[in-house]
């Protein structure tokens, strides 16, 4: 049951929280009300699956079971990595253009070269991460 959280529907006197909600609140440093709102937003954005369960044990209670959609997470993270790679590539191209302009004015492009080197190393690391992440 890893990744499943139990939540209770709001009651007339306020929101009742399960021990799992309280654990999430303590781990993430968000308030009880915020935790339930965040779970709802994640469900609307299709990061979570939700199932409503009615418990008849000690009175009738409506519970929500939350489960993380791992495939959706993988796709979003992979998409973010591709966007980051594109941004780095564009920044590198811009720096190369700047270096050429500086060379034409016969100035020293040391800072631009250092910046480009850092960007290229970052792109290589991101590329490695993409390959590893894509194989999972």
Is 4 domain-assigned?
Answer: no
Region 39-44 average pLDDT: 84
**Domain check: are 39 and 26 in the same one?**
yes
Alpha helices in the chain (DSSP H): 19-28, 32-44, 70-104, 110-135
Please give the tally of structural domains in the chain: 2
Owning domain of residue 48: 19-68
d(CA 51, CA 12): 21
**CATH for 61:** 1.10.10
Q: Is 7 domain-assigned?
A: no
pLDDT in tens, 58-110: 677 777 787 888 777 788 888 888 899 999 999 999 999 988 888 888 777 78
- CB count within 10 Å of CB 24 equals 20
pTM above 0.85, yes or no: no
> How far is residue 60's CA from residue 92's CA, in Å, rounded to a whole number?
61
Burial of residue 89 (CB within 10 Å: 0-12, 13-18, 19+) is middle
């Amino acid at each position: 049951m890893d990744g499943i959280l139990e939540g209770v529907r709001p009651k007339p006197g306020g929101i009742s929280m399960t021990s799992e909600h309280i654990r999430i609140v303590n781990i993430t440093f968000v308030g009880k009300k915020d935790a339930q709102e965040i779970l709802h937003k994640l469900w609307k954005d299709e990061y979570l699956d939700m199932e409503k369960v009615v418990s008849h044990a000690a009175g009738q209670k409506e519970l929500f079971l939350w489960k993380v959609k791992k495939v959706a997470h993988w796709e979003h993270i992979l998409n973010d990595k591709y966007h980051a790679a594109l941004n780095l590539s564009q920044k590198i191209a811009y720096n190369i253009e700047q270096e050429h302009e500086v060379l034409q004015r016969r100035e020293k492009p040391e800072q631009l070269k250092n910046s480009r080197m850092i960007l290229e190393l970052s792109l290589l690391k991101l590329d490695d991460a993409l390959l590893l992440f894509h194989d999972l």
